[in-house]
Structure 1
Amino acid sequence: MVKGEGRNAFSALSRSPSPGTAHLRTISSQEQQEQECDPATASASKPTPFSTSQPQPTAPAPDPAPAPAARKLVGMSELDAFVSKEPSGHVRTEYIEFGGAEDKENPFNWPKWRRWFHCVLAMSYTCMTAINATAYSAAEEGVMADFGTSHEIFVLGNALYFIFIAFTPLLLAPLSEVYGRNRILIVSAAAYAILYIPQAVAKNMATILVTRGIQGAVASVGNSLVGGIISDMFAAEERGPLMGFYGLVNFFGQGIGPAPSAYLAASRGWPWVFWWQLILTGAVVILLILFVRESRGSVLLARRAERMTKESFRAAAEAKAARATVSPTATTSALTHASDEEEEASSSPSSAAPDTQEAADIERAARTASNTATRAQPTIYKCRAAEERASLAVMAKTSLTRPIVYLFTEPVIFWMALWAAVAWGTVFLLVDVVPIVFSVYDWTTEQRSLIFLSYALSGVLGLVSNFHQEHLYARSARRHNGKAPPEARLYYPCVSAVLFPIGFFIMGWGARSSVHPAVPIFGICVISFGIYPLYVAVFAFLADSYERYASSALAAQSMLRNLAAGLIPLVASQLYEALGVPWASTLVGCIAAVLGVCPFVLFRYGEQIRGRSRVARAMRAEAERERERAEREKEGHEAKLERARERWAAATATADSERTAAAA
């Protein structure tokens, strides 16, 4: 044995982590395990500040691992990082992830009040877009009088608004993957508010039409972020109440939009239909700027990685400068001198013990030199999700094509989207035909606008029903070992399938001069209350059914739903004038009744239908591959752990024997 090798080995072991820490480090690559758990290889392979001037003549460097492997890095304010060592050995790459419950940067760990506050602020923007959708009709009489346009051309403004809402997210939805949620949300809301100005000062109908289309495109980007913001901060089992509140916000906005707009248009002129919305939306923009923060996890991790990388390179530069002040030769000489003194002391019984302070100083100098060398190697930190993310062009292509493909190849998506589209289209059909339905009562525009407050009332009642729906879903989850089937989302949609057409029959046949106007108003309440459970459930049902492909499934139904909201009102007036209020309402009610079969069929046969879908087969195959990969990783980890334990035991035994021999 080389002189002093045993003591150096024991010294390396004494400076190694505690057994518990070593146990943590055994999940590193085999090369890293050998270097950290075997003291002989550790002293030969670890870089030191003087290794370049005096290379180790013994023990050649071990072969590098065949491929980068991940190990867990502990520290950095409760951060969990996964390290992948580059073959060069000069610059390391470390992939970071959020830590546990102590990591306060993780949006899931924010206080509950803060998460709710963020979601409510984002929904307030959604409320502004909902107000705009129904408030626009209040400007019809003034715009038609000033610009000499027709009813069909005026309604085209809302059609363009919804058509752009339908298609723009397919192109621009990936923006939040790259730039984050809050930037897109704030820019979208600010642009949305500004676009009220050209409508208020418009001198012709073309200006209003063009601006309405652009405003719809801007609104779609912000609206599509709300679901993402909710998923950024709440687990799937926590999102039910939030989605219910989201439905309330939409119905509340649609309900309160017409009344103030109609009264302002009558008293101050039609431009004030847009001015008051500008004031309200401007206040929302200010709140968003002041209080909304980034919530997308991958974006937050990428920013953290950038900060850590800058700090690492700064520390490396400082360490490099500090290393120049440490004399490698002097440090080596001191260590050799200490080793000789220690051997003389151990071999001579009468000799005094070595100076403890001197030995501590030498040890400290060696550690400082070693730490300086370690810090001199900069580290590039990365977020794996951001690193593996496809390019913006690829994401835009997928976002554009996949929802359309799913819409026409997945029966569950098609029929749920079609039912939701008809329901959502009738919400705005009523905005257009209420003047015709209630013409028998000789009401003014302002009086008719109050009818839509029933939307807000139905939203409140719908929110109450959603709490019971969540209770039923939780009960189903308990019966299915904690994971309820997607069909458990359809209890109240089955109720809405019955109420929705009944409401049209009540409104259509109750709107007579001999019948109190409360009857058709009650019919509108039944219609809107019947639509609410469907509107909320379609999001949750498709998300549960398609899991990792849920965004494409939801984009497909949103596209068809908003397209129907824009196109159905274009023919609503002609339909009611041609058939009359009773029979036109009966026709719409019958269509709703036929499509109302969907939730009952899915409730009974949904599992079999989903099992035959192409996407479901792909999901099962991916789940099987994930299970096999997890098993392989577990087996490999256990084997590495066992090898590390054996090496640790051997190293400890060797060190003990060397210490015994040195003491003798």
Structure 2
Amino acid sequence: MTTMEAMVPHIVGGLLVLNATFASSAPSGIVEDMMEQFRFSIHVATLTVSLFVAGYCVGPLLWGPLSESYGRRPIFIIILFYTGFQVDSALSPNTASILTFRLLGGIFASCPLANSGALVSDIWDARTRGKALALFSVAPFAGPALGPVVAGYISTAGASWRWLYWVLTIFAGFCLFIIYFTLPETFAPVLLVIKAKRLRAETGDERYYAPLESEDKIPLGKRVEKILARPFKVMFQEPMLIAVTMYMSFVFGCIYLLFEAFPIVFVEGHHFRSGTLGLMFLPLFLGSVVGVISYLIVFNPPYERATDKYAPDPVPPEVRLELALFAAPLFAISFFWVGWTSFPSISFCAPMMSSLVLGWTAVHIFLALINYIIDTYLFVAASALAAATVVRSVFGAVFPLFTRQMYVPLNPRWASTLLGCIALFMVPIPFVLMKYGPTLRAKSKNAPTKAPMKIENIDIEGEKVV
């Protein structure tokens, strides 16, 4: 696969993640309109975001392992059902239906979140993967940041709140069209299955087969059990994955917490309207963009030099963690910043700009840790990422639910300080893995000790694939 050919699935994967994350936060900008129509409380309104993110907890249990059994492309086409649930949300007649369809939409929207990182690992080698993931990583932060902006101005313009869901439907339908016509299969074991079938058809020799085809002989019940259990089996066997997942989950939860915290700071404190409130999330998006640019200019070149240094062996995954050593302390500082500049007497620019630093650091933490997971677990990367996605989605769904209960009694100053202290407590995680990661990998049941073979170097001969 040439670089230009690899860019197509790479861009498609990023677009799908942008679609999913944009839809997750967008209802926060039309909360008042939905509350007026359905007569529910602010706590129920919060569920329109939390239930969608809760769907991320369920979907990856299926989509990640299924993609390792049937390939990436068939599973990505699942977005067909997600598109339908956006239509259902737009037509919802009552509270129960809108909440139900938000949950179902989140389950199917989680497919790209679970599998896009694995897709990147399929098409790029270790030297290029960091740069590719850097460009790809803007999407998970751009989506949540842009969703409230679009929704807020739909509300301010006087359009029905249902128009937001029609916008999400159009976006999802466009993504489905792109997937169907441009996304090839990228998973090497499935490509071997396709090659084996072709050779059997061309030669009539039934001795040609691929290792993945042996799974067809496993009873359906055991296959389902294997698919559902694999992500957590991988996670509970791996202390490294548990530590990394908990850190990423906290960062992810803090991002979604902002969608409930910022209305308290800017609407109740500075008396902003919905459209203006949405603009307060733009520094989060800009911070992620600046983070990607700084990664490509400052942090990625040393890694590329490391690939030459360690060649022909792979670069140790711990090299990826150097990025988090700088970002982790600054992530904690950003919460102290937003907290102690959130007084109504202080210009709104001060707390708003803290999210610029938060976005910059969050991107670097995610880049470091996701690259670390992929480099460490390789062919079970989809299951490892699926388990990480489930756990961090629990945090993303739960954090908005207690935000108001925390930020109102404690006030934004002390609530943000509490989060900053928790973030400081997690700062040592990348430092500890830098030191003890090689020892833990040597004892791992899932981390390979050799570099993966490239698909073009794998041939099928006789009765087995070698």
- State the TM-score, normalizing by the size of structure 2: 0.89
Distance, in Å, in 1 between the alignment partners of 2:308 and 2:184 is: 36
Name the structure 2 match of 1:33. Answer: none
Distance, in Å, in 1 between the alignment partners of 2:323 and 2:188 is: 33
Which of 253, 275, 280 matches 1:446?
Answer: 275
Distance, in Å, in 2 between the alignment partners of 1:275 and 1:608 is: 51
Q: Secondary structure at the match of 2:112?
A: helix
- The answer to whether the Cα contact below 8 Å between 2:117 and 2:382 also exists between their aligned partners in 1 is no
Aligned residue-pair number: 444
- The answer to whether the Cα contact below 8 Å between 1:166 and 1:560 also exists between their aligned partners in 2 is yes
Q: AA paired with 1:523?
A: S
Higher Cα radius of gyration: 1
Shift in Å, 1:471: 1.8
Name the structure 1 match of 2:458. Answer: none
Stretch deviating more after TM superposition (569-578 or 271-280): 271-280
Q: Secondary structure at the match of 1:208?
A: helix
Matches within 5 A, 1:455-474: 455-467=284-296, 468-474=298-304
* Deviation sequence 1:576-615 (CA, Å, 0-9, x none): 001001000000000011111111222233334444x453
Name the structure 2 match of 1:598. Answer: 429
Distance, in Å, in 2 between the alignment partners of 1:304 and 1:485 is: 32
* Deviation sequence 1:463-491 (CA, Å, 0-9, x none): 11222322222334444455322211112
Q: AA paired with 1:449?
A: G
- Greater fraction helix: 2
Matches within 5 A, 1:29-108: none
Q: AA paired with 1:380?
A: E
Pair 1:413 & 2:244 matched:
no
Distance, in Å, in 1 between the alignment partners of 2:385 and 2:183 is: 25
- The answer to whether the Cα contact below 8 Å between 2:65 and 2:228 also exists between their aligned partners in 1 is no
Shift in Å, 1:265: 2.3
Q: Secondary structure at the match of 1:173?
A: helix
Distance, in Å, in 1 between the alignment partners of 2:364 and 2:172 is: 28
- The answer to whether the Cα contact below 8 Å between 2:60 and 2:389 also exists between their aligned partners in 1 is no
Matches within 5 A, 1:620-659: none
Name the structure 2 match of 1:366. Answer: none
- State the TM-score, normalizing by the size of structure 1: 0.63
- The answer to whether the Cα contact below 8 Å between 2:335 and 2:417 also exists between their aligned partners in 1 is yes
Pair 1:296 & 2:187 matched:
yes
Go from structure 1 to structure 2 and tell me whether the alpha carbon gap of 1:552 and 1:429 turns closer, same or farther (over 3 Å shift): same
Name the structure 1 match of 2:405. Answer: 574
Go from structure 1 to structure 2 and tell me whether the alpha carbon gap of 1:408 and 1:289 turns closer, same or farther (over 3 Å shift): closer
Name the structure 2 match of 1:628. Answer: none
Name the structure 1 match of 2:305. Answer: 475
Q: AA paired with 2:57?
A: A
* Deviation sequence 1:129-185 (CA, Å, 0-9, x none): 010111121121111111111122222232222222123222343333444322321
Q: Secondary structure at the match of 1:290?
A: helix
Pair 1:200 & 2:90 matched:
yes
Structure 2: segments with no counterpart, 5+ residues: 451-466
Shift in Å, 1:408: 4.2
Distance, in Å, in 2 between the alignment partners of 1:118 and 1:477 is: 24
Matches within 5 A, 1:92-171: 110-171=1-62
- The answer to whether the Cα contact below 8 Å between 1:302 and 1:386 also exists between their aligned partners in 2 is yes
Distance, in Å, in 2 between the alignment partners of 1:493 and 1:413 is: 15
Matches within 5 A, 1:313-392: 378-380=204-206, 382-389=208-215, 391=218
Which of 469, 494, 497 matches 2:325?
Answer: 494
Pair 1:211 & 2:101 matched:
yes
- The answer to whether the Cα contact below 8 Å between 1:138 and 1:270 also exists between their aligned partners in 2 is no
Identity of aligned residues (%): 28
Name the structure 2 match of 1:436. Answer: 264
Q: AA paired with 2:178?
A: L
Structure with the bigger RCO (C-alpha within 8 Å, sep 6+) is 2
- The answer to whether the Cα contact below 8 Å between 1:174 and 1:395 also exists between their aligned partners in 2 is no
Distance, in Å, in 1 between the alignment partners of 2:178 and 2:242 is: 38
Name the structure 2 match of 1:586. Answer: 417
Go from structure 1 to structure 2 and tell me whether the alpha carbon gap of 1:222 and 1:514 turns closer, same or farther (over 3 Å shift): closer
Matches within 5 A, 1:502-541: 502-541=333-372
Go from structure 1 to structure 2 and tell me whether the alpha carbon gap of 1:542 and 1:512 turns closer, same or farther (over 3 Å shift): same
Distance, in Å, in 2 between the alignment partners of 1:295 and 1:412 is: 27
Pair 1:173 & 2:3 matched:
no
- The answer to whether the Cα contact below 8 Å between 1:233 and 1:295 also exists between their aligned partners in 2 is yes
Name the structure 2 match of 1:348. Answer: none
Q: Secondary structure at the match of 1:558?
A: helix
Go from structure 1 to structure 2 and tell me whether the alpha carbon gap of 1:279 and 1:614 turns closer, same or farther (over 3 Å shift): closer
Shift in Å, 1:423: 0.5
Name the structure 2 match of 1:276. Answer: 167
Structure 1: segments with no counterpart, 5+ residues: 1-109, 313-377, 624-664
